[in-house]
Amino acid sequence: MILPDDAPKAVPNAQSQNRLEERPVRDPPPAYPGYSSYQRGELDLCPGSSTEILARSQSVSVVKSALRWRLLARLLVAGIFIWSLCLVVWSRSIGETWRVSPDENNSPDLPHERGGEHVDCERRQDRWSGPDNALSWKFELPLSAEGWSIFSSAGIRGGSFTIVHSSRRLPKDAAIIEITVDNVQTETVRVCKQERATGTIDISIATDQHLSYLLLNQQGITIRVILPADSPVHVPALETRLPGFSHSIETGPLVTFNSVFLGTSRSGISVNYLSADNIKLQTSNGPITGTFDVAHSIELVTSNEKINSNITAHHGAGPNPSTSVLLLTSNGAIYSSMDLVANADSPAAAVFDIDTRTSNDRLELDIPQIALDSVLKLSAWTSNAPARLAVASAYEGSFLLRTTSTSPSLRGEDKPMDPSGRERRRRLMFMQNRGVLYGTVSWDEVQTTAESGNIEVRSSNADVFMELL
């Protein structure tokens, strides 16, 4: 039903009107005290407090700013400390007086600890020196001295050491040692020459270790010993203790020594020709190569690199009962050729004691010449690599070949010529069992020497081969 707009409206009666007027008017309920994110204004958690409450985003920015300033302050303090330390070290390095650091007092390389008369000591300092502006020293080495010794302190990291002939004019009865330092980079270097009470000349090279360790400089130090080329030269003893220095001996048969010790590390030793009664060359992680003539003993010792040598070993009159050869390395090959010679003045049968050892690499020995009626004691060991030995027909004695995973091999001529020219016959006997081959060899049945030689060649997981020339 549709009602028109002008329809009469209901009029409340008087009783209903009076009931509405008599109902009391109540106050509205209080507002809810909780804080909503959409409400405007600020939340007053502490009424009456004067502390201003910041919005969360503004508080985070203030904390980040404070951390930033604190970090900058710490970096500034650290920079000031490092700068002060550099100034202290710099002032110490350019001082007029050389100050020995505690590390130097414990270094065995410096000659002042051995005692002796001080001869000359020079301290020099330079910055960013190059090949055209290098520090250099020059000293005379008397040939009449009992020996020469060259050392370096712990602060010296490397360089080169060379002995050469020269046709230029040299002081009478003396050699020259020249020392050059390149790439110094604010480095202080001191070179000293001392003469011990025994008559040995010491040359020492030292550096300010505090400064070198801080700046991590790399010195390029060149040491050259210059000998006269037109006459024989004999030096009783030569000794070097130069870690990190490569060694090169470029002399010939005119230069002889009683004893030679060359000590280095992380570098190789190369010898053109070296003649001495006793020789010891020692390094690590560097090869040893050269030609040697030795009367009593020779030791070539390295690691992780090869040894390649040609050796002539003499046995003559003297207190030594035998001439010894030691070749020692690891993880590197050994290639060596040896001539074993007995001098005419030898009062008894010559004895040669040879020991060669390596690992994880080849071992090859050739002994084409052995003195007649001499005694050879040879031990040759390697592992995980082939071992080969070729020995002269003059050898008499026993031999033992041993390996694993395979069988050793032996080869010899059926009718070899008698090395003495007496038309003797060689007698060869051997037996083999798996990885072992043992036997003896002699000329006729009568032994001319009271002692016979013995040879032992060993390897593992590889071939072992011996040839009787």
Contact 441, 426 (CB under 8 A): yes
86 CB-near residues (< 8 Å, 6+ apart) = 214
Burial-class residue 19 by CB neighbours within 10 Å (0-12, 13-18, 19+).
exposed
The model's confidence at residue 59, banded by pLDDT at 50, 70 and 90, is low
| Distance, CA of 382 to chain centre | 23
Sign of CA dihedral 51, 54, 58, 63: positive
Q: How far apart are CA 403 and CA 434, in angstroms?
A: 9
Residue ranges of domains in the chain: 98-286, 289-469
More confident residue, 286 or 4: 286
Q: Residue 314 has which token pair?
A: 């003499």
CA geometry: angle 224, 246, 338, nearest 5 deg = 105
SS3 annotation, 209-261: HHHHHHHCCCCEEEEEEEEECCCCEEEEEEEEECCCEEEEECCCCCEEEEEEE
Find, among 297, 308, 231, the residue nearest to 269 by Cα.
308
- Give the tens place of pLDDT for each residue, 275-301: 999 999 999 999 999 999 999 999 999
Contact 262, 281 (CB under 8 A): yes
Instruction: Characterise 331 by phi-psi region: left (phi > 0), alpha (psi -120 to 50), beta (else).
Output: left
- Give the tens place of pLDDT for each residue, 252-273: 999 999 999 999 999 999 999 9
More confident residue, 435 or 42: 435
190 CB-near residues (< 8 Å, 6+ apart) = 98, 121, 122, 123, 124, 205, 206, 207
Contact 345, 316 (CB under 8 A): yes
- Give the tens place of pLDDT for each residue, 170-186: 888 889 999 988 765 54
69 φ, ψ to 5°? -65, -35
Q: How far apart are CA 159 and CA 180, in angstroms?
A: 10
- Give the tens place of pLDDT for each residue, 353-376: 999 999 999 999 999 999 988 899
CATH class of 98-286: mainly beta
- Give the tens place of pLDDT for each residue, 208-231: 655 444 343 455 789 999 998 888
- 0.85 cut: is pTM over it? no
Burial-class residue 323 by CB neighbours within 10 Å (0-12, 13-18, 19+).
buried
Burial-class residue 440 by CB neighbours within 10 Å (0-12, 13-18, 19+).
middle
pLDDT at residue 205 in the model: 87
pLDDT at 127 over 50: no
* Report for 61-75, 129-143, 293-307: range of highest mean pLDDT: 293-307
The model's confidence at residue 458, banded by pLDDT at 50, 70 and 90, is very high
Q: How far apart are CA 241 and CA 209, in angstroms?
A: 18
pLDDT at residue 431 in the model: 94
Q: How far apart are CA 188 and CA 135, in angstroms?
A: 10
First to last CA, the chain: 141
CA geometry: angle 154, 236, 118, nearest 5 deg = 50
SS3 annotation, the chain: CCCCCCCCCCCCCHHHHHHHHHCCCCCCCCCCCCCCCCCCCCCCCCCCCCCCCCCHHHHHHHHHHHHHHHHHHHHHHHHHHHHHHHHHHHHHHCCCCCCCCHHHHCCCCCHHHHCCEEEEEEEEEECCCCCCCCEEEEEEEECCCCEEEEEECCCCCCEEEEEEEECCCCCCCEEEEEEEEECCCCEEEEEEEEECCCCEEEEEEEECHHHHHHHCCCCEEEEEEEEECCCCEEEEEEEEECCCEEEEECCCCCEEEEEEEEECCCCCEEEEEEEEEEEEEECCCCCEEEEEEEEEEEEEECCCCCEEEEEEEEECCCCCCCEEEEEECCCCCEEEEEEEEECCCCCCCCEEEEEEECCCCCEEEEEEEECCCCEEEEEEECCCCCEEEEECCCCCEEEEEECCCCCCEEEECCCCCCCCCCCCCEEEEEEEECCEEEEEEEECCCCCCCCCEEEEEECCCCCEEEEEC
